[in-house]
Amino acid sequence: MTMNEVIIELKESENTVHVYEKSYVEVEGCMLQMIKIDNQKYIVVIGQGKLFDDIQGDLQEGYKRCPLTHENRLVLNTYLEYTNPIALGNKGATIGLGDRLGLASPGHIRTIEDKKVHPVLAQQSIRELSLTNRSYKDVMDAACFAVFQEGYKEGFGADGDHLKVEEDIQMSIDLGFTMLTLDCTDKIDDTIDEATEADIESKYMELPQEEREKVEGKYLNKEFNLTNSTMTYDRLKVMKYVLIYGNAIEFMKHVYDKYIQPAKRGIDFEISIDETSTPTTPESHYFIANELYSNGVKVNSMAPRFIGEFQKGIDYMGDINQFEKTFRIHAEIADTFGYKLSIHSGSDKFHVFPIVAKYTKGRFHVKTAGTNWLEAVRIIAKENPELYRKMHKYALDHFGEAKKYYHVTTNIDAIEDIDHLSYEELPSYMNDDNARQLLHITYGLLLQAKDAEGNSLFKDAFFETLHKNEDKYAQGLIKHIGKHIELLGIK
């Protein structure tokens, strides 16, 4: 029995059958192809042998119809090497394309498949998982099935994003994630920047004398030359950086020694120091990198806290000239140590992308996530406007609650009253910064909202609409993420 014969048979017996042509593959005496019946996806498997026996599904006459379960994803990983994530290393451009819904990766793949960039398709923080009621298994499953669906064989990454707790770090490694973003926020002492010099001196003197002498001998009266810049440190700077970042550096070394090195496989180790109240100065960036590398810790990328505002879902806020001046030095530091600069909350930061491309010479990592949710909301506004109206009003009522999770400067009063807009005008909200942030940070509340009987207020209708408009969603992502790719100079 051929795959075409099976598809014809299915189309005769089912209401709606969609075939994902790029998914077709022959391996281990079997033919595999992904299909969608109504809004449910399956893998059709024809043949015989171990693969046919291993994959789980309903046995039909001459073939199996297999659901997209975690167990079946593991079977694909066993027999189709390209469905496994890989470590992408520190060369070239990579882009994190977090998929909060488990539906965006096909559109992401179509966006980058002919570009000189590698995608990190599985990318979620613990915070995002808790707000969407998903697990790391769900995230990995969705990414791997998308790779199979699109027949993408160029390699993709999987990022345990913004992890702080060792239990979560071990979990991500055990599940096969190939990138670890270590969030050091809780280990960074932000209070030091506001302390007086006398208080800094007093606190510094509490450190062991041997530790103080070692760091002073390493940095005081020394020059550290970069390509076009020089790093120098007076005693106040040394004291401040030791107090601000000392515990964080110890945490980085601990995680590297306990989890990254013993893994015995490629793991892209990223350091995140970006979620702090004050920007990372070039001097502090160099200090952290030098301490890590002098202790044998190799990182693939580092995410400083750049000057200005990298708020969710909108463009860069701040002095672009000052950003360029300091970013140039951050890029020099990254080049000196051989890792990539990572730009977090990179969604929609169109004004800074040409600067990123220029000074990194195309060797960078940019993280996006929320913008993919917003493109999904745009589809809802176009295709199910009444659902969008309800979601919009609910988001307004619960905005204060959502702000507990994100830093935004949204002006709610500037958002036009939704009752004044027609159905056709609703997608325009996705072009307004304030409305974008409103919908961006309330995603978890919207997906979890239930009525008095425990039924979903929005989630079921939301996903049903997206499933029905799968190609439109992919096209929206191609257009929007494509703009990111273009401005980042990726050919």
Cα–Cα distance between 346 and 369 in angstroms, integer? 8
319 included as an active-site residue: no
Cα–Cα distance between 372 and 476 in angstroms, integer? 9
Q: How is residue 332 written in tokens?
A: 């020099």
**Helix spans in 338-415 (H):** 353-360, 370-383, 385-397, 399-402
The answer to whether the CB of 273 falls within 8 A of the CB of 302 is yes
Cα–Cα distance between 296 and 301 in angstroms, integer? 15
Rounded to 5 degrees, φ, ψ at 18 are -115, 135
Q: What angle do CA 265, 269, 274 make, to 5 degrees?
A: 165
The answer to whether the CB of 335 falls within 8 A of the CB of 301 is no
Cα–Cα distance between 221 and 233 in angstroms, integer? 7
Q: Starting from the edge strand earliest in sequence, which strands make up the sheet with 63-67, in order?
A: 17-27, 30-37, 40-47, 63-67, 58-60
**145-158 CB burial, b ≥16 within 10 A, e <16:** bbbbbbbbeeebbb
Cα–Cα distance between 357 and 340 in angstroms, integer? 12
- Which is catalytic among the residues 99, 161, 291, 332? 161
Cα–Cα distance between 331 and 427 in angstroms, integer? 38
Q: What type of residue sits at position 429?
A: Y
335 included as an active-site residue: no
Q: How is residue 403 written in tokens?
A: 């702000």
- Which is catalytic among the residues 270, 283, 375, 433? 270
Q: What type of residue sits at position 25?
A: V
- The DSSP annotation for 117-151 comes to -EEEEEEEEHHHHHHHT--HHHHHHHHHHHHHHHT
The set of catalytic residues is 161, 270
